[in-house]
Amino acid sequence: MATVLYITANPNDHETSYSLAIGKEFVQAYLSANPNDEVIHLDLYQMNIPELDADVFSGWGKLGAGAVFDALTGAEKAKIGRLGELVDQFVAADKYIFVNPIWNYSFPPVMKAYIDSICVAGKTFKYVPGEGRVGLLRDKKAVHIQASGSVLSPGSALADFEMGHRHLNAIMAFFEVPSFEGIFVEGMAADPNQASAIKEKAVRKAREVASGF
């Protein structure tokens, strides 16, 4: 049995959100093909995800200098403890489904906060003398479902402006996740008359990818 994290960064629901609508189709198709797997929904808008702030860096500095965890301030312990929970949950999972809209050419800030929480040396990557950075998630799989009003996917005229999928792709490469695929529902604002057709095309793609994920 595999554990799958369904990670969503959208304050709306699947009735009004294209990304969540496609995400729901993906999960349903995945569970149909893998009924014994566990899918855990992480709604990032409903979670406690500490930002990397002065408390976090101060606490990390103390720990790096040899202090014990109990010697940290209350704020440092709460934030660093929570960040540890998030990265441990991420590492323990087998597969990841990231879902988000594009806002101003990137994903919502809460997705960046989550990414920061899982970029932890010794957990998702490490540094090896003479070799540099080595990813530690070489046995994982990931898929990214992204919605945008404009067409921003690789190969499009505006692809260079897109900072959501490209950012996540870089992070997965950083962790050395060997399988990462993008599913894009895009262009609804550019061509509203084709919105339904665009969504149906993305649904078909999601079901196809889910069956082999």
Residue 29 has pLDDT above 90, yes or no: yes
Rounded to whole angstroms, the Cα distance separating 155 from 175 reads 25
State the binding site.
Answer: 17-19
Which pLDDT value is given to residue 105? Answer: 97
Which residue is associated with the tokens 């995400």? 23
> CB under 8 Å to 73, separation ≥6 — which residues?
55, 58, 59
Please give the Cα distance from 200 to 211 (Å, whole number): 17
Contact 40, 5 (CB under 8 A): yes
The confidence score (pLDDT) of residue 93 equals 98
Residues 6+ apart with CB under 8 A from 145: 19, 22, 23, 26, 97, 98, 99, 100, 182, 183, 185, 206
**Tens-place pLDDT, residues 164-204:** 999 999 999 999 999 999 999 999 999 999 999 999 999 99
Answer yes or no: are the C-beta atoms of 14 and 21 closer than 8 Å: yes
Sheet strand arrangement including 179-186:
38-43, 3-8, 95-101, 141-148, 179-186
Q: Which residues are annotated as a binding site for FMN?
A: 17-19
- Enumerate the H helices of 34-145 as residue ranges: 54-64, 74-92, 109-118
Of 112, 121, 136, 115, the C-alpha closest to 63 is: 121
The CA distance from 209 to 211, in Å, is 6
In the predicted structure, residue 131 carries a pLDDT above the cut 90: no
Give me the chain's average pLDDT, please.
97
pLDDT of residue 64: 93
Using the predicted structure, report yes or no on whether residue 130 has a pLDDT greater than 90: no
- Give pTM, 2 decimals: 0.96
The predicted model gives 145-154 an average pLDDT of 96
Going by pLDDT thresholds of 50, 70 and 90, the confidence category of residue 156 is very high
- pLDDT greater than 90 at residue 42: yes
